[in-house]
Each structure stands twice: as structure tokens, then as C-alpha cells.
Amino acid sequence: MSILKGLKPYFEDFHRVKFTNDAIKSAVELSARYITDRKLPDKAIDVIDETGASQMLLPENKRKKQIGVKEIEATIATMARIPAKSVSKDDEEVLAHLDEQLKRVVYGQDEAIANLASAIKLARAGLREPDKPIGSYLFSGPTGVGKTEVARQLASSLGVELLRFDMSEYMERHTVSRLIGAPPGYVGFDQGGLLTDGVDQHPHCVLLLDEIEKAHPDLFNILLQVMDHGRLTDHNGKQINFRNVILIMTTNAGASEMAKANIGFGHSRRTGADEEAINRLFTPEFRNRLDAIIPFGALPTPVIHQVVEKFVMQLEAQLSERGVTFELAPEAVAWLAEKGYDENMGARPLARVIQEHIKKPLADEVLFGKLKRGGTVKVTVVEDGEGGRKIALEAIADEVPPPKASKSSKKRAVVAADGSDIDDEPIEDDEVDDGDGDVTPTFDENAAAPAKSRATTVPKVPRRSN
């Protein structure tokens, strides 16, 4: 701060602007947080210099005479390659309502979201080691219960980038080099690693490694130094900083054991089988570096009803440009939840049921039927005639008022002497259409008077006699 305050008059004279004390303070704090490849005070000086130079590139009538925090935030967002809203977003406000925002979009996993929000608040409060990532979490549970969706919504709530890697693509030993880059002498050495380049371009991000149990064990060894020291060296020897990364790994380990019915009397489901499967799959040194193992449970029936309404709302948002809205009956919600949810498969089959019973019947109506110009779709349940029930869709088109005919669009028919039509001519402004197809000319006495006077003053031409 002292160095920048000493350089402040020189920058003000050179760029012909004034820097506020808050702008100087924010330049130091934001550059220390978001620009990781340089040191202070060099990077803070570059922020001040670039902010002043950006004003000189504007026309004189649009230049600002005083530089505040807002202009510094815009420069930091450009230099760090991050969204501008994530720089200006108040971290305290976001963290205070983080669990509420996640529970609003992810249903039925309140305990898992509470554990995740508390772990992130612990890290942001400065109670973590500075060299480690913000958090390293392992999401465990059956498929289709919202593990990947929580990571996606977390990145959206924090305003950072989501880097997702499907670990089914890294099942072989040689595929691990795609993450950090191929060594010298091998094909692809000049292309760089997908993981290292992604984190280098987006130092503040949520890193999602989906279905980590499918990856080769060599990948776990690479993640050890990331979770312990927050750094990873690529194939060129460049160190990539992971200190501002939230590392999330998902796994289905133990889901099949949990789904098996318990033998004998007591609990109908096995308890603790998922922890045993995780202990068998991951080594102790890997589990010790995790900040938390967050279990996800199966979704109850009321939550499935909320998921059905969410899917229908997403469908309505897709058809919003066409002006199509939905009215979903409660019995239709219950029918879709019953047909589309499986405790072992989660909520993924629900999307297929909605596509089969709602989207496909609507396609023809939207393209060629009543919903071509918008309308309302009522989703109900009716008897199918065989003792069962099925989904019924009723499309109600919006009422479109008939277009009003203008004067230029009115035409009159010109009939020849033999009674045949010759052509249609537009009705002039001085004619009136009486509604039965006949046109009655209007008579203007003032306009006819001069013509009458002109007719009386024309001299007669005498005839020539032969």
C-alpha cells in the first residue's frame, strides 16, 4: 500500500485521472487473490497502470476523471480471465446464503448440502492451511440423486468456472498423461495437459472428477500432491496453482451393497456398506487428505414430486420463445413420479418418462397444431380403458384477433360490358364501400363547382362548311 500510494501521483499525472484510496486498496487485495502468476507489488502496479491506460483509449467525452473500485474490478476480471460478476460479488453475502441457494435447486439432500456449505465456510474463514485447495470433497451415494448437480450449482452460486472430467475416459495407464501432458519424445507433447491447462486458464474454479472409481490408480497418486500442497507440475515443468480450486470427486462405490436387502430381522437396508466399499477402493493416504466424505441418500417420494415439477418447468422454459405454458395437475405429478423413479436408478429415468409421454406428443402440436402460435398445455390423468391410467394432454391455442383490413387492401371489381371481370382496382379515398361489394362514389360540391364553371366558359368552336 505504501509503495502504491507513493506511485499514485505519477500515474495520475501520466494518465490524467485520479485514483481513490479505495481503488488502490482493492487493486492490492484483488490482485493478490486472483493473479497468481506474479508477485506484489508488481501485479498491483500493473493493475493501476492498465486501468488508467484503458481510460485513455476511450473518447474524451466518455473518459472518467476519477477511478474507483468498479474500474479496478473490471481490469482484474480481464487480467485473471474470470467473470466480472465473480470479482464484484460480495463473498460474505454469497457464503451466508450458500446452503439456501443450493437447497433451492437441489432437492432432498439437505444434510449433504449443509456439510458442504460448512466445509467451504471453514475454508473461506481462513481456518485452512494456505497451501491447500479451498476444499477436497468426495461425494458418495447411488446414481441419479444429485451429486453432479450439486457441483454444477455450487459453481453457479459462487460465480466461478466448472471444469468437469469424466473418469471413464482415464481407465488406462497411458491416458493419465492426457491430464498433465505427454512427456518429451511422445506424441502430443506440444499440446499440453487438459487438467493443467484448464486450471491455469481458470485458477478460480470448481474441479469435478466424475465417477472417480473408474479412473486408473495412478491418477490417485497425482491427486495426492494436489490435495496436500495445492500444486501440480505439468510436462513443461511449470507449476500450476490449485490453491483457489474446489476439488469435488463423485463415486458410486458402495451403492450396490447398500441396495441389497438385509438378511434376517432388523433394518431393511444395510448400513455402513458404503464406507466399507470406500475404504477398500481408496488407500488410507488418499482418504486422509480429503476434507470430508459427504454421503448422498436415496430420494423420498415428496422430493420426487418436486423433481417432476422442476423438469416440467425446464421444459416450459425451453418453449418460452414459442409462448407455450403448462398446467400440471397433482395426479399427473404423482403418475410421473411413480413411473419415472427407481430407488436403484435415481431420478434419471424420470427424464425419459417425460420425453415419452409429454415431449413426443407435443412435437406435432408445436410444429403444426394448435400450439403453433403459442398456447397452454393441460397435463392430466385419464382412464386408458384397460383398467389403468395414462397421461392426457390438452392443447389450448391462444386466441389471435383477426387482422383489420386497411384502406389500401380494399379492392373493387371492374366489369367489362359483356359482364366478365377485367381487373381489381384499389378503392380510392373518395369512394365508400357499402359492404355488399358495390362502391358508391362520394360527391363533393366544392370540388364540382369549379368544374361546372369551367364548362360554361369554354367557347364553342364553329363548324367548317364544305
pLDDT per residue as tens digits for the range 174-212: 888 888 888 777 777 777 789 999 998 888 889 999 999
d(CA 427, CA 409): 8
* Amino acid at position 184, single letter: P
CA angle 123, 128, 132 (to 5 degrees): 95
User: 3-state DSSP: the chain helix, strand, coil percent, rounded to 5?
Assistant: 50, 20, 35
* Beta strands, E only, 321-415: 324-328, 375-383, 389-397, 411-415
Give per-residue pLDDT as tens, 219-247: 999 899 899 989 998 888 888 989 889 99
Confidence of residue 167 (pLDDT cuts 50, 70, 90): very high
Classified as helix, coil or strand, 109 is: coil
d(CA 46, CA 25): 14
d(CA 416, CA 61): 70
Q: Is the pTM of this model over 0.75?
A: no
pLDDT reading at 268 higher than 70 = no
Residue 435 Rama label (left phi>0; alpha psi -120 to 50; beta): left
Provide the H-helix boundaries in 293-444. Answer: 301-318, 330-340, 348-354, 360-367
CB 164 within 8 A of CB 317: no
Please, what are the domains in the chain? 2-84 (1.10.8.60), 91-295 (3.40.50.300), 301-397 (1.10.8.60), 407-457 (no CATH)
pLDDT of 415: 44
Question: Averaged over 294-315, what is the pLDDT?
Answer: 86
Closest CA to 189 of 177, 173, 203, 174: 177
Q: What is each CA distance from 85 to 105, 157, 201, in whole angstroms? A: 21, 11, 17
Give per-residue pLDDT as tens, 9-65: 999 999 989 999 999 998 998 888 778 778 888 999 999 999 999 998 888 888 888
d(CA 43, CA 35): 7
* Beta strands, E only, 56-160: 66-67, 135-140
Closest CA to 36 of 7, 79, 78: 79
Least confident segment among 64-78, 217-231, 339-353, 367-381 = 339-353
Confidence of residue 454 (pLDDT cuts 50, 70, 90): very low
Order of strands across the sheet that contains 324-328 = 324-328, 375-383, 389-397
Name the DSSP class of 326: E
Give per-residue pLDDT as tens, 81-140: 766 655 555 667 788 888 888 888 888 888 888 888 887 888 777 677 778 898 899 999
* Amino acid at position 223, single letter: L
What share of the chain in percent tops pLDDT 70?
79
pLDDT of 244: 83
pLDDT reading at 69 higher than 70 = yes
